[in-house]
Amino acid sequence: MTDVADNAETERFEISVDGAVAGFVKYRLPRPGRIVFVHTEIDPAYEGKGLGSKLARAVLDSARERGLEVVPMCPFIKGYIDRHPEYADLVA
């Protein structure tokens, strides 16, 4: 089973597979209403399984639900937005 959770204490969204953290998106909240996605990392043992895309979709959906503007400093998140224009309106 795959889950995505916001670990606010460490400022990162984590994707877990069967309870083990398989990757994360590090973020910052520099001011109210804005989230900056800084870095995405998937453990090499889990690469090639679509987890990066699932994680990107989850963090962008969360930003939308929370009414946050997105600053995609992370190249992976920026590339995901470029390939999925339905998220372009979130970009600050």
- Report pLDDT digits (tens) over 13-47: 999 999 999 999 999 999 999 999 999 999 999 99
Token code pair at residue 42: 């998937």
| The CATH homologous superfamily of the domain defined by 2-90 | Gcn5-related N-acetyltransferase (GNAT) (3.40.630.30)
pLDDT at 25: 99
- Report pLDDT digits (tens) over 52-88: 999 999 999 999 999 999 999 999 999 999 999 999 9
Nearest Cα to Cα of residue 46 among 66, 72, 69, 20: 20
| Residue 71 CB contacts under 8 Å (≥ 6 apart), including other chains | 34, 35, 36, 37, 91, 92
Domain coordinates of the chain in residue numbers?
Answer: 2-90
